[in-house]
Structure 1
Amino acid sequence: MTEPPPRWRAAAVLVFGACVIGFSPILVRLTQTGPAAAGFWRLAFALPLLALMTRRTTGRIAPPSPLALAAGAAFALDLGFWHYGIKYTSVANATVLSNLTPVVVTAFAWIFLKQRPRPQFLLAVAIAVAGAWLMASQRVGAPGVNPPLGDALSATTALWYALYLLAIGAGRKRETASALMFWSSAVGAPLVLVGALALGEQILPLGAAGWAACVGLGLMHVAGQGSIAWAMGRLPTATASVVVLVQPVVAGALGWVLFNEVLGPVQSLGAAVTLGGVVLAQRASRDKAA
C-alpha cells in the first residue's frame, strides 16, 4: 500500500484535532467550576504532557519565542471571552459569532500578507460559515442575561482564535508543534487563572466528576489543539481555520447523544452544509498547491 500524500495526512490529522476539540463544550459543562477556571484547568493539566512531548522531540525545553508568547495570550483571551459569551448571550448567538474565525483569518491573509484567496476558497468559507449559522439558528435556549455584552464577547472570540491560529501557523515554520503548544499553554494558564480570581469564580471543582472533566479537558487540549498545531506546519492557516468548523458539528452530535439536545432538520442541514464547505475549502487549497 502506498503512503498517503503528506498533505492529505496533514488534513486527516487536522480533522481529527477538530473532532477532538468538539468535546470541549461538553467537558466545560461538567467541570463544576467558573468559565475562566475551566480554561485554567484545561491548560494546567495539559502542561505536564506537553513538557514530556517537547523534551522527547527536541531534547530540551528552549526559551519561548515571541510567537509562542503571542499564541498563549491570544488563546487565553479566546477561552475567557468564549466561555463568558455563552454565559451572557444565547447559545445560538455565541456559536455563530465565535465561528467567524475563517472570515477573520482569510481577511487578514488577504490584506496584510497579500495572499489573495481563490474564488472557490471564498465560496467555501461562505458555505462553511452559513452551515455553522444554520446549526446555531434553531438551538433552543434563553436569550441570556446580557445579550449585547455576550454578543460582543462572542464576536471578539473569533478575533482571538484567529490571532492564535495565525501565530501558531507562523511559529510552525520554525518550531515544533509540541514546543509551541507547551509555551502557549504555559503563558495562557496563569492569564485565565488571574481572570477567574478577579471575577470571583469557583476555582476548584466540587467533586470527583468535576476533577475528571478537568483532566479530560487537559487530555483533549493535548490531542486536539496539538494535532491542529502539527497539521498547521503543513497546511495554509486559512484552510485550517475552515476545517476546524468540524468542531461545532461534533459538539452538536455529542449534545444530542449525551444531553438529549436533539438536532432538528435545519440543524442537520447546517451540519451537512458545514462539512461540505470544509471539503470544498480543502479541495480549493489542494488545487492551488498543485
Structure 2
Amino acid sequence: MTEGAKAEAPRWPALAVLVFGACVIGLSPILVRLTQTGPAAAGFWRLVFALPLLAIMTRRASGPLGRPSRIALVAGVVFALDLGFWHYGIRYTSVTNATVLSNLTPVVVTLFAWAFLKQRPRPLFLLAVAVAVAGAWIMAMEKGGGPGLDPPLGNALSVTTALWYALYFLAIGEGRRTEAASRLMFWSSAVGAPLLLIASRLLGEPLFPASGAGWAACVGLGLMHVAGQGSIAWAMGRLPTPTASVVVLVQPVVAAWLGWMLFAEAIGPYQAAGAAVALAGVVLAQWASRPRPGPATSLSA
C-alpha cells in the first residue's frame, strides 16, 4: 500500500477500535484494586495470563513466534515501568487521579514526535492537546470519595507513568511499521513479565491472590490486556501516534465512572466538567488531524 493510499484509507474503523481499546483499559485500575496482590505483582499476572492468548493470535496471524525485535524489547521494558509506576499510583491515590495523571501522555508524545520524528503538528492539533490535557487536570483537581493512602506520592508516580506510557506509545507506533500488532504485544509482554516479577520480589509484595476473587481479577487483567492494549496496538498501525495518544484520553472518563460505581469515589462537578472538556479535546484532535487533500486526491476527485 502506498503512502497516498494510506492517507486516503478510512480512519473511522481504526478510531472505533482505538476508542474500544481505551474503554477496555479503563477497567485496569479497578481490577488492580481487586487482585489482592502487590502493585507490581498485579502487572506480572496481567502479562502472564495474556501471553498464551497472544501466542495463539501471533501464530495464527503471522506464523512462528520467532525472536523479539529491538523495538519489541524496548516496548517491553518501558511497559513494565509503565505498569509498575501506574499500579503504585493506583495504590496511593484515587483511581480517577491515577488514571487521569498517567494519561497526560499526549503532551510528551506530541513534543517527542515533533522534535525527533519530524511530525510537525498543526496549530489546531496543539490547541486540541491543550484542551484535552486541561480537561484531565480539571478532573484531577477535585478528589473523589477515596483520596488514597498518600495522594501526593500517588499523584507523582502517576505523572511519571505518563512518561513511560508515552515512550511505550512511540515504540509501538514505530514497531507497527514493520511488525504485526499481536507479535509486538507478545514479545513486549514476554519481556515485561519477568521484570515485574523481579520488582515484586525486591519490594516484598504479596505475589499470590488470597482468594478466588483475586485470581479472577488477575485473569481479567490478562483478558483486558489482550483486548484493550491489543486493540490500541492494532489501531496505531493505521493512525498517527500523536493522534492515537489523544484519543486514549477517554480512558480516564471510563475509570472515573467505574471508580464512582465500585469504590464510591464521588464524581463532583469539576470532574464532570473536566470529562466533558477532555472529550471535547479528543474530538477536536480528530478534526485537526484529518488528512489534508493533496494534489493527487484533488485530481482523482
TM-score by length of structure 2 reads 0.90
Which of 138, 155, 158 is residue 134 of structure 1 equivalent to?
138
**Per-residue deviation, 1:208:** 0.2
The 5 Å alignment of 1:208-227 reads 208-227=212-231
Task: Identify the residue that residue 260 of structure 1 maps to in structure 2.
Answer: 264
Percent sequence identity over aligned pairs: 75
1:151 Cα deviation after fit: 4.2
Q: Give 1:255 shift.
A: 1.7
Matched residue, 2:57? 53
Counterparts in 2 of 1:154-233, with a 5 A limit?
154-233=158-237
d(CA) in 1 for partners of 2:275 and 2:10?
Answer: 27
Q: 1:91 to 1:178 in 2, by over 3 A?
A: closer
Amino acid in the other structure paired with 1:75? F
Give the equivalent residue in structure 1 for 2:5: none
> Quick check: 278-287 or 237-246, which moved more?
278-287
2:20/2:231 contact within 8 Å kept: yes
- Match for residue 287 of structure 2 among 268, 271, 283: 283
- Asked if the contact 1:95–1:136 (Cα under 8 Å) also holds between the matched residues in 2, the reply is no
Letter in 2 for 1:113: L
- 1:56-98 Cα offsets, whole Å, 9 max, x none, are 0012112110011100101000010112233345666544532
Maintained 8 Å contact 2:58/2:64? yes
Structure-1 separation of matches of 2:255 and 2:214: 19
**In 2, distance between residues paired with 1:90 and 1:11?**
29
What RMSD, in angstroms, separates the aligned Cα atoms of the two structures?
1.9
Q: Is the 8 Å Cα contact of residues 85 and 161 (structure 2) preserved in structure 1?
A: yes
Aligned residue for 1:73? 77
Question: Secondary structure at the residue paired with 1:286?
Answer: coil
Q: Is 1:36 aligned with 2:62? A: no
Code of the residue aligned with 2:286 in structure 1: it is: Q
Tell me how far apart the structure 2 counterparts of residues 205 and 144 of structure 1 sit (CA, whole Å). Answer: 21
Give the structure 2 partner of residue 234 of structure 1: 238
Gaps of 5+ in 1: none
C-alpha distance in structure 1 between counterparts of 2:13 and 2:155, whole Å: 37
Partner of 2:298: none
Query: Secondary structure of the equivalent of 2:49?
Result: helix
Cα separation, partners in 2 of 1:289 and 1:10, compared to 1, 3 Å: farther
Gapped regions of structure 2 (runs ≥ 5)? 1-8, 295-301
CA distance in 2, matches of 1:87, 1:52: 33
The equivalent of 2:31 in structure 1 is 27
Q: TM-score, normalised by structure 1?
A: 0.93
- Counterparts of 1:232 and 1:95 in 2: how far apart (Å)? 21
Question: By how many angstroms is 1:259 displaced?
Answer: 2.7
Deviation at 1:156, TM superposition (A): 1.8
Of stretches 21-30 and 110-119 in structure 1, the one that deviates more from structure 2 is 110-119
Cα distance change of structure 1 residues 143 and 54 upon mapping to structure 2, 3 Å threshold: closer
Q: Which of 264, 277, 293 is the aligned partner of 1:273?
A: 277
Rounded to whole Å, the distance in 2 between the matches of 1:278 and 1:99 is 13
Question: Do the aligned partners of residues 257 and 145 (structure 1) sit closer, same or farther apart at CA in structure 2, a change above 3 Å counting?
Answer: closer
Q: Structure 1: how far apart are the matches of 2:96 and 2:31?
A: 19
Equivalent residues, number: 286
Cα distance in 2 for residues equivalent to 1:37 and 1:217 = 12
Q: Distance in 2 between matches of 1:175 and 1:135?
A: 36
Confirm or deny: 8 A CA contact 1:91 1:136 kept in the other structure: no
Q: How far is 1:139 from its partner?
A: 1.8
Alignment check: 8 A CA contact 2:94 2:151 kept:
no
